[in-house]
Amino acid sequence: MKLSDNLVIGLDYGTDSGRAMLMDAETGKELALSIKEYPRWKKGMYCDPIKSQFRQHPLDYIEVLEFIVKDVLERVPGAAEKIKAISVDMTGSTPVAVDKNGTPLSLLKGFEENPDAMFILWKDHTGQKENDYINDFSKKWHLDYTKSSGCGDYSTEHFWTKALHIFKIPEIKSVAHSFVESSDWLPAVLCGITKPEEIKRGMGIAGSRVMWNKDWGGYPPNEFFKTLDPVLDGLVDTFNKQAYTCDQEAGTITAEWADRLGLPKNVKIAVGNLDCHAGAIGAGVKDKSMVEIVGTSTCAITVGPKSLGNKLVPGIPQQADDIILPGLVGYEAGQSAFGDLYAWFKKLLMWPLDNIMLNSNISDAETRKELRDEVYAEMIPALAKVAKTIPPKDSHIIATDWINGRRSPNVDYELKGTITGLALSSIAPLVYKSLVEATAYGAKNIIDRFINNGVELNEIIAVGGISQKSPYVMQVMADVIGMPIKVIATREACALGVAMCASVVAGIYKNIEEAQQKMGMEISTIYYPNQEHHEHYKIEFDKYLQLEKIKDIIH
């Protein structure tokens, strides 16, 4: 295989696993891909779903890093010496308490098994009480620092909620010096930056999750946080005052990490990025295009000229300059559950098999296990096959997609999912159909909010696992939304997006837009809406919206 001299690596850290994409930036060709699950996370360690506690150990990130980078380099002989830059994206807000040396507390003696000393995953909602307090307090402050959020409310999934929750724990507060986002921490590790004050914190996370805004000179002042709660006194002063865009350099890899990974000692490391923002870049986000990243949850991302920057879209959680593409306003919305809603239904239907059939004595254990696994693998495809044959007009069930709360529009994580209109004739495929329609209604609700508030959208681009493997779901989305949906020919848009960022940091391309043109993937499929179905779904969508009016009943 002939290689150019300009290779880059994009590292994408998702909820369950990390992946490395080795790319030839000159040809735009993907050379190798490696994926590895986080070993401790896979075992369910440090998590308590009943309490909405989801924590990840920093060693999971480090061990995965070494494996996936070495793996892609081994697959392409001669590639290592041609690597020019690496860029990283991670889920967010996923921060951790660190000491004065920038070390996560869970890497210190005595804290190794303490979940509160680990990274607090984006979907951790243990700080809901603190989040409510932040929102109430901010509305009474002389300047509401939540106002850059179109919904006017801070989220329980965001940085300061988690900081307040964790720093109120005495054993954490006594040792912690700062609070660092995972997407800022890992690039700093690779660059050997240990002092929290010197870490280059990314604009994507700072502007969308950490209240950074140029209108008030960066982060809110320490006075705000000290008055909010004394446990936060001085924390913001441990931050680098500047926030950096994803096309900027965080530093150069250390000799130690170059040796550990088998890389040259002049590899540049890009400023860290959020996974959803990276995915939008990889999918080709641009003005008037909405990128739907469709997986267990969704992110709906678009950008626009800064002339729109003073026009907030109500109910959309993240809106700020430069958070996605430098030079443009970035908008980020999304659904808290998408594929997770289908997974819940699948788990519900599996209960008799897991709890009755597996314990039966009718057949041998191996046969029962094989049967169980076959049903598990075939359930969703079988449900979709039958659901597809049911005309939309014959569906009498309306469901909502709020099973994990609602991210947008109008954040409300206390909302619960609903299924209404059930009858004795409601078979499992019909219920599944209603759940697919519910997730499509949630996506339409977000898109309509943008369009109805002056943000022009001419195309919908989809990436993510569901867009690649669930034609039925994607067709229902197109029918409900009433616009064609273009699916990009890669499941790894996030890794591709940060590889594009790495190519700019390496000086191979002058900006991200040029990198998108040179390194972008082709469209694999276009789903066109069925107009008859769309007209029916417009009526059903109104019913879905009506359920919001009784949300106090279903909290």
Q: Which domains does the chain have, with CATH numbers?
A: 7-283 (3.30.420.40)
Q: Residue 377, class by beta-carbon neighbours within 10 Å (0-12 exposed, 13-18 middle, 19+ buried)?
A: exposed
Has residue 550 got a pLDDT over 60?
A: yes
Q: How far apart are CA 245 and CA 458, in angstroms?
A: 26
Has residue 554 got a pLDDT over 70?
A: no
pLDDT band at 162 (very low <50, low <70, confident <90, very high): very high
Has residue 310 got a pLDDT over 70?
A: no
pLDDT tens digits along 11-24:
999 999 999 999 99
Has residue 370 got a pLDDT over 50?
A: yes
pLDDT tens digits along 505-546:
999 999 999 999 999 989 999 999 999 999 999 999 999 999
pLDDT band at 38 (very low <50, low <70, confident <90, very high): very high
Contact 404, 336 (CB under 8 A): yes
* DSSP bridge pairs for 97: 179
Q: How far apart are CA 29 and CA 7, in angstroms?
A: 10
Q: How far apart are CA 237 and CA 178, in angstroms?
A: 9
pLDDT tens digits along 94-144:
999 999 999 999 999 999 999 999 999 999 999 999 999 999 999 999 998
The dihedral region occupied by 284, where left means phi > 0, alpha psi between -120 and 50, and beta the remainder, is left
What is the rounded average pLDDT of the residues 481-499?
95
- How high is the pLDDT of residue 150? 47
Q: How far apart are CA 93 and CA 90, in angstroms?
A: 9
Q: How far apart are CA 439 and CA 473, in angstroms?
A: 9
DSSP H or E run through 159: helix 159-167
What is the rounded average pLDDT of the residues 250-256?
98
Please state, as a whole number, how many other Cβ atoms lie within 10 Å of the Cβ of residue 234: 13
Has residue 263 got a pLDDT over 50?
A: yes
Radius of gyration of the chain (CA): 23
What is the rounded average pLDDT of the residues 201-219?
93
227 HSE (CA, 13 A, CB side): 10
Any idea which residue has 């001085």 for tokens?
A: 234
- How high is the pLDDT of residue 154? 87
DSSP state of 50: G
Contact 418, 402 (CB under 8 A): yes
- How high is the pLDDT of residue 318? 85
User: What percentage of residues in the chain have a pLDDT greater than 70?
Assistant: 97
* DSSP bridge pairs for 87: 10
Has residue 244 got a pLDDT over 80?
A: yes
Has residue 57 got a pLDDT over 60?
A: yes
pLDDT band at 394 (very low <50, low <70, confident <90, very high): confident
| pLDDT mean across residues, the chain | 94
What is the rounded average pLDDT of the residues 359-378?
94
What is the rounded average pLDDT of the residues 145-159?
75
Has residue 227 got a pLDDT over 50?
A: yes
* DSSP bridge pairs for 462: 292, 487
